[in-house]
Structure 1
Amino acid sequence: MATLLLTAVGSAFGPIGGAIGALAGRTIDAHIFKPDAREGSRLKEVSISGSSYGTPLARHYGAMRVPGTIIWSTGFKETAASDGGGKGQPETTSYSYSVSFAVALSSRPIDRIGRIWADGNLLRGASGDLKSGGTLRIHRGLADQLADPLLDAELGAACPAHRGLAYAVFEDLDLTDFGNRIPALSFELFAGSGSELIKLMLAPHEISASESARFSELRGFSHEGGTLKSAVQLVGNLHPLSPRIQSGSVVIRSAADPATVPRMLPEPAAWDDGDFGTQSGHSQTRRDQRSRAFSGLRYYDTARDYQPGMQHADNSEADGVTFEFPGALAAADAKSLASRANDRLITRQDAMAYRLAELDPEITPGTLVQAPGIDGVWQVAGWEWRERGIELDLLRYRPESARYAAADPGTHWLPPDRLAAHSTLRVFELPWDGTGSPIERRAFAAIGAHSGRWPGARLYAEQAGTLQDTGVFASRRAIGGYLSQPLTSSPAIRLESGASVLVQLDDFAAQLIGSDANGLSAGTNRVLVGSEILQFTSAEPRGDGAWLLSGLLRGRGGTEASASRGHPSGTPATLLDQRVSVIGQDLHSQFGSEFAALGPADTEPATAILENGGASLQPPCPVHGRIEKKDGSIRISWTRRARGGWLWLDEVDQPLVEDAEQYEVAIGSFDAPSAHWTTSEPELLLNSADAEAIRLDHPGEAVLIRQIGTYARSPALSIADAFAL
């Protein structure tokens, strides 16, 4: 007896033909639930990148989290950077390592890359920001893509463009956060719409898919190996499909979207071949399918960053199977799909073979039909041509219900996607602190950031429109901000227990700690406010980065002139501790006065102009000015202070840091003095005639005294109306 199956017809349409024939010749569900079938592709716990030879490169559709395969890498690159070096702290040299490598992601083109995970934490956020230093380039796998510039430079003429292959290139990825090794990577990949999977998979084979073939619940899918037939069958487990031949071509549509009005079959035709009764022309059977039902569905959960999730079907059987599906779904959709698959199985336990004398071209697999004298609606699962007519394979049909219990993806930990904070920069000189050489200028950089994740920043000098690396990299943010209220003037003589100032810090997470008199004498809690150095004993948080500093010791390090002027609201304030970096010696000849800080999180560099230029070489103002009069003559005397000599040891003269001891004294001003003298001693003697002449010619004018240092002159000590009677 001759038999012609639709499989033979399907074979004429290329590689997909076998799958189409199988779909048309029998119900999709027979493939879904056949007893010896594997429960689906093995889901992988969050996969990570590897570099094994022979690893197949998957085709990805929609939104998926994929590991990729490392296809090229350089050796590790070592970089040295200085850090710290503030008062009382040694300058340290730290070493960081970076590496450049390429990762193949998909063997079909993609649209874009979203987040990237490294060792389970986010390396690249949803906004496209890298959390670690380095450069990322994405090649989408287009047919005309060019070779990556780094690979081209390294490999030369042997460098392929990898057309048709989507891959990512990391250039100088900072490995500090990963234990100086290449981390385990996974990528969020977008390649078209997951709901258009069937259309996208069939397109290269010139087989079309109708709108009903859309898998609306599917967010993404990975075809990691096997034939296209196996992939279609796998999808059919949850989204039944059926083929139709239209105008000589094959169209795939959803088996769950038939015509709304069932077609009435003609009376059955009977012939005797021993298969079933000769008079009825049809035969009904009932199959027990409970062992083939889904007990649960494993999938990649979109709410869990594509980690595997599990949903149990509402109508599951205890002895059912757990089906593993390598697609991205929402929890509610996964539960609904599993429950609907079980509903179809239960409904289609009733099968019927029905014979027709001739084929109606409108009755094809997937068509809804009714049979004369037989209750219910049936769906054509397949057909078979026989010698005397057509035998239809029918399964009972019932519309799918959309009402299923709600689903929850479950509790899970997701790495935070903290937005990066942009760097801040302040560069300044300070009075020499007594450490190192007194003849070298040293500038300091306070490199910090506002609240948020901050991967550090490197300091550059701006010269002729270019950025010159200073060798300074700050991995810890300096604590800085500004005055949120004015700070009044101060004589800077003693500890002002009742004085206070409100400071707003850039980083809300920064902490300030109080101290006592012993701590202040050891140099703790120093803050550079404008050009004044002050210290505080108490720090009280006021919320949102605001701190009330009280118990102030003003004008430290010879900055009492700045303290006497006070500071308006908005004046910058920087905590001087080990987080402030030393830039280097011979400042002007090496770097100039314009600087920029640039880190991985910065779209634009933070810039700063050197403040307090020359402060490290300027002698402090003389103090303790005295006027002594005897027999009309006048003796003007003062006490010398020296750079770096801030301890004021008893019974010991301050060391002379300058090449020679020299002072200048003026009446009125140094720019246009009424009288002017220089002396190498901390005093000036005027005879009675000179003193009387000054008293008469310049009444009420002050005497100004300053030290002449090797590289600069000190601020002036003023003695008001020194010659008054």
Structure 2
Amino acid sequence: MATLVLGAIGTLVGGPLGGAIGATLGHGLDSMIIGSPRREGPRLKELAVSTSSYGRPIPALYGKVRAPGTIIWATDLKEQRERSGGGKGKPKTTTYSYSISLAVALSSRPIDRIGRIWADGNLLRGRGGDLKTGGTLRTYTGHGDQRPDPLMAADVGPQCPAHRGCAYVVFEDLALEDFGNRIPALSFEVFAGTAAHMVREIAGRHGMESRQAAFPALEGFVHEGGTPAAVLTLVDRLRPLAAISRGGQVRLDGIAAPEGEIPTLPPAIAWEGGDFGQEDGTALARSSPAGSRLTALRYYDPSRDYQPGLQRAGGTEPGAASQVLEFPGSLSASHAQSLLVQAASREQQRGETLSWRMSEIDPELGPGSIVRAPGLSGLWQISGWEWREGGVELELIRHVLPNGANRTADAGTAWAPRDRLAVGTSLRVFELPWDGSGASGSIQRFAAVGAPTGRWSGAALYELAGNALVPLTESGPVRAVSGSLVVSLGASPSLRFEGSASIRVALEDREAELEPATPNAIARGDNRLLVGSEIVQFAQAQPVGDGVWELTGLLRGRGGTEIEALAGHMPGTLVTLLDDRLVELPAPLALGEGSELAAIGSADPDPVVAPLENGGRTRRPLFPVQPRVHATPEGGLILSWTRRARGGWSWLDEVEQPLVEQAEAYEVGLGDPDKPQRLWATPAPHLHLAPAEIAVLSSLHPGQSLWVRQKGSFALSAPLHLTPIPASS
């Protein structure tokens, strides 16, 4: 803090030179007040990433760790081109994507398997073993029977090594579009046996036995360099070890509570000369409290995705030099805190040393032995001996019994990327009534491309032409909001806003959300929902839970879908939100009844096929409304109705709907609309049937229905019932 303050003041007063002087003075003041902690041990890496530096050591991994790896082989970038567009006045575009194949060495000793993989901090491979992008992964565990990778062998040739004893992975055609078309920064979760017995393994490789040297709290360890002695010395700071000499053999044991009877040193003797104890043969000393004390421990925390954690030990004396131990092992926060407190306590108590002279050495009292000293309390451990002319001088340190009490500690919070499993694509294809935008002859066909909750990056759309797939477009990663009815939706005459009516829908993506809308927003066309073939608008949206939503305040039968509203809908009916997340299909696409489209996403083993719903709906006129029948005094009938127009979603008072078709024309029919008994054509929204004609119809077709439908430029509307033919009297 003083460094920052004095540096800023110095800059204001004396410019850059004054700032440098102020920063120097501040640093000295900080050192006197706060102290500069001394670091010991290999520096922990803050989320280290893969490199390919020459001479970089490949670490030996134990247990469960996160390692960056070293790139040992790679191909050139592979370029792929794909052309799209060119329809509906749009220019053709060419997109480029790149992939690469590479091998990354992970460990200089065999491993069991690979877990998660991070690329640029995001998950490239999840816990389930799924790659989040395109490519293939092969893992080589480093055992003696390992064979060369076939892709590397094809590139390198017969001299391609098998890398026995070295664990590595090979990415084949790793897609790079998610990483800016470059090789991302990689790091790997590695499982390599158990780290609890690392000391025994290291000792065994050097011909030493070991007992009680297990380190249960150690979940993983990264040995990136240095001698085995340096590694064991580092472990000894947290898990005490001792080299025990017995019968000329050296054994590496863990220091634990002594079992059985503890031997007592023989009485000390004095002799002339030497550095201590000329009178009684003993010397007791204690280190200065001003020495450096272990106050903090940095380690890799598995609960934080192996990011470095920091635990501190309390009780540091003011002004005392502090020491931070960098320990490249995986520990839980509670274990790290407990080990730190115990290590700090040991170092404090082990500051007491004892020198002891004996006439001769007892073979059972070698270095590492736990003994008692006559006249002194507590236990002592022999750290060394030296032969003298008059006898043997022992060096002992105070032995601290291990404290098995565990302490609770907080690992802290850390950001972690979500591990989402890849999910398959859902597809719904439909044609909608014309909404008044664009040319009246245009066709508004859309694909609702989405997916359930999970990882999904979009899909490619194709037209099914026989057994062939004709590319159309890409959906992009934005999902359409789709689902299904949970309960049935009853029939509605679609005459007015139904404020108390509601529907309950289950969205396939449980993380999707629906928003409420004001009356003005609904009038502008917001919150349109395609339920089956009916378009419904809703005012309120309330989540129920697990992707289920309650939608209240309904406007039914929108866009001329009153017939579908009168039929109602059963549970399970498909529901799709009509918004800008839909994919508009190219206009020249010749789709009709029976046409099918397909979608293929990264997690789809087979194309997802969906038929076109409501084919021809955009250019089909809306059926007339408000039927009226007037009987003339002579016995004739005057039939009339009100015309509607495509795109006229709103009813405007005292304003006639514009004529969208090329000409106004209607046909009035009798009987079944598919097989009418009689047809009349009229260019106006009315028709006069003479008395004689009514008489003939009454005798030949009594009870048959008269109906009318509009003749549009491209299709006929649905029929509107006018009146039944009266029976002849």
- The alignment's TM-score, normalised by the length of structure 2, stands at 0.76
Cα distance in 2 for partners of 1:387, 1:329 equals 49
Match of 2:112 in 1: 111
Cα distance in 1 for partners of 2:657, 2:311 equals 84
Q: Retained in 2: the 8 A contact 1:91–1:582? A: no
C-alpha deviation, 1:556, in angstroms: 2.8
C-alpha deviation, 1:529, in angstroms: 0.8
Cα distance in 2 for partners of 1:588, 1:533 equals 22
Match of 2:62 in 1: 61
3-state SS of 1:334 partner? helix
For residues 307-346 of structure 1, the aligned pairs below 5 Å read 307-314=307-314, 316=316, 318-346=320-348
Match of 2:19 in 1: none
CA deviation vs aligned residue, 1:500-521 (integer Å, no higher than 9, x gap): 322335235513231435x555
Q: Retained in 2: the 8 A contact 1:116–1:125? A: yes
Label 1:590 to 1:619 Cα distance change in 2 as closer, same or farther (>3 A).
Answer: closer
Match of 1:513 in 2: 516
Match of 2:398 in 1: 396
For residues 609-624 of structure 1, the aligned pairs below 5 Å read 609-610=610-611, 612-616=613-617, 619-624=620-625
Label 1:78 to 1:650 Cα distance change in 2 as closer, same or farther (>3 A).
Answer: farther
Cα distance in 1 for partners of 2:224, 2:540 equals 59
C-alpha deviation, 1:531, in angstroms: 0.6
Cα distance in 1 for partners of 2:580, 2:92 equals 10
Match of 2:477 in 1: 475
C-alpha deviation, 1:334, in angstroms: 2.7
3-state SS of 1:221 partner? strand
Residue 294 of structure 2 is aligned to residue 288 of structure 1:
no
Match of 2:526 in 1: 524
For residues 258-297 of structure 1, the aligned pairs below 5 Å read 258-265=258-265, 282-288=281-287, 290=289, 291-297=291-297
CA deviation vs aligned residue, 1:545-592 (integer Å, no higher than 9, x gap): 555545544323332221221223443221101001134453659995
Cα distance in 2 for partners of 1:615, 1:145 equals 62
For residues 235-246 of structure 1, the aligned pairs below 5 Å read 235-244=235-244
Q: Tell which deviates more after alignment, 263-272 or 229-238.
A: 263-272
C-alpha deviation, 1:220, in angstroms: 1.6
Match of 1:41 in 2: 42
Cα distance in 2 for partners of 1:190, 1:209 equals 24
Q: Retained in 2: the 8 A contact 1:527–1:533? A: yes
Cα distance in 1 for partners of 2:695, 2:207 equals 113
C-alpha deviation, 1:221, in angstroms: 1.3
Match of 1:226 in 2: 226
C-alpha deviation, 1:475, in angstroms: 1.7
Aligned residue identity for 2:243: P
Q: 1:445 pairs with 439, 444, 447, which one?
A: 447
Label 1:174 to 1:524 Cα distance change in 2 as closer, same or farther (>3 A).
Answer: farther
Residue 188 of structure 2 is aligned to residue 187 of structure 1:
yes
3-state SS of 2:503 partner? strand
Aligned residue identity for 1:235: V
Label 1:182 to 1:708 Cα distance change in 2 as closer, same or farther (>3 A).
Answer: farther
C-alpha deviation, 1:98, in angstroms: 5.9
CA deviation vs aligned residue, 1:77-97 (integer Å, no higher than 9, x gap): 6787999x99xxx99989695
Q: 2:659 pairs with 642, 653, 660, which one?
A: 653
The gaps in structure 1 that reach 5 residues or longer are: 1-36
Cα distance in 2 for partners of 1:139, 1:264 equals 56
Cα distance in 1 for partners of 2:433, 2:83 equals 23
C-alpha deviation, 1:179, in angstroms: 5.8
For residues 673-684 of structure 1, the aligned pairs below 5 Å read 673=675, 675-677=677-679
Label 1:485 to 1:332 Cα distance change in 2 as closer, same or farther (>3 A).
Answer: closer
The gaps in structure 2 that reach 5 residues or longer are: 1-37
Match of 1:557 in 2: 559
Aligned residue identity for 2:529: V
Residue 686 of structure 2 is aligned to residue 668 of structure 1:
no
Q: Tell which deviates more after alignment, 342-351 or 228-237.
A: 342-351
CA deviation vs aligned residue, 1:644-673 (integer Å, no higher than 9, x gap): 67689847532249xxx99776533245x4
Label 1:310 to 1:516 Cα distance change in 2 as closer, same or farther (>3 A).
Answer: closer
Aligned residue identity for 2:611: L
Cα distance in 2 for partners of 1:69, 1:61 equals 17
Cα distance in 2 for partners of 1:691, 1:256 equals 114
Aligned residue identity for 2:661: P
Q: Retained in 2: the 8 A contact 1:302–1:329? A: yes
For residues 21-170 of structure 1, the aligned pairs below 5 Å read 39-71=40-72, 72=74, 75=77, 99-100=99-100, 102=102, 103-128=104-129, 132-135=132-135, 137=137, 139-143=139-143, 144-145=145-146, 161-169=162-170
Q: Retained in 1: the 8 A contact 2:432–2:445? A: no
3-state SS of 2:338 partner? helix
Label 1:164 to 1:572 Cα distance change in 2 as closer, same or farther (>3 A).
Answer: same
Q: Retained in 1: the 8 A contact 2:529–2:578? A: yes
Residue 715 of structure 2 is aligned to residue 716 of structure 1:
no
C-alpha deviation, 1:532, in angstroms: 0.8
Aligned residue identity for 1:694: L
3-state SS of 1:194 partner? coil
Q: Retained in 1: the 8 A contact 2:707–2:719? A: yes
Aligned residue identity for 2:610: I
Cα distance in 2 for partners of 1:321, 1:226 equals 21
Cα distance in 1 for partners of 2:334, 2:325 equals 16
Aligned residue identity for 2:57: P
Cα distance in 2 for partners of 1:314, 1:271 equals 45
3-state SS of 1:50 partner? coil
3-state SS of 1:577 partner? coil
Q: Tell which deviates more after alignment, 183-192 or 524-533.
A: 183-192
Q: Tell which deviates more after alignment, 246-255 or 562-571.
A: 246-255
Label 1:629 to 1:311 Cα distance change in 2 as closer, same or farther (>3 A).
Answer: closer
Label 1:707 to 1:594 Cα distance change in 2 as closer, same or farther (>3 A).
Answer: same
3-state SS of 1:213 partner? coil
Say how many residue pairs are matched.
670
C-alpha deviation, 1:542, in angstroms: 5.0
Match of 1:593 in 2: 596
Aligned residue identity for 1:284: A
CA deviation vs aligned residue, 1:282-302 (integer Å, no higher than 9, x gap): 543425264253233222234
Cα distance in 1 for partners of 2:153, 2:595 equals 37
C-alpha deviation, 1:223, in angstroms: 0.9
Cα distance in 2 for partners of 1:708, 1:146 equals 75
Label 1:159 to 1:620 Cα distance change in 2 as closer, same or farther (>3 A).
Answer: farther
The RMSD of aligned alpha carbons is: 4.7
C-alpha deviation, 1:57, in angstroms: 2.0
Give the fraction of aligned pairs with identical amino acids, expressed as a percent: 38
C-alpha deviation, 1:343, in angstroms: 3.5
C-alpha deviation, 1:429, in angstroms: 1.4
Aligned residue identity for 1:262: I
Cα distance in 1 for partners of 2:593, 2:118 equals 41
For residues 676-715 of structure 1, the aligned pairs below 5 Å read 676-677=678-679, 691-705=694-708, 714-715=717-718
Q: Retained in 2: the 8 A contact 1:460–1:467? A: no
C-alpha deviation, 1:60, in angstroms: 1.6
Aligned residue identity for 1:60: L
Q: Retained in 2: the 8 A contact 1:634–1:685? A: yes
Match of 1:571 in 2: 573
Q: Retained in 2: the 8 A contact 1:122–1:415? A: no
C-alpha deviation, 1:267, in angstroms: 6.2
Label 1:605 to 1:505 Cα distance change in 2 as closer, same or farther (>3 A).
Answer: farther
Q: Tell which deviates more after alignment, 589-598 or 715-724.
A: 589-598
Q: Retained in 2: the 8 A contact 1:668–1:674? A: yes
Determine which structure has greater relative contact order: mean sequence separation of CA pairs < 8 Å that are 6+ residues apart, divided by chain length.
1
C-alpha deviation, 1:620, in angstroms: 3.2
Match of 1:254 in 2: 254
Aligned residue identity for 2:573: T
CA deviation vs aligned residue, 1:31-61 (integer Å, no higher than 9, x gap): xxxxxx9721122333233343333222221
Q: Tell which deviates more after alignment, 103-112 or 247-256.
A: 247-256
Label 1:466 to 1:92 Cα distance change in 2 as closer, same or farther (>3 A).
Answer: closer
Q: Retained in 1: the 8 A contact 2:245–2:368? A: no
Label 1:385 to 1:157 Cα distance change in 2 as closer, same or farther (>3 A).
Answer: same
Cα distance in 2 for partners of 1:94, 1:636 equals 59
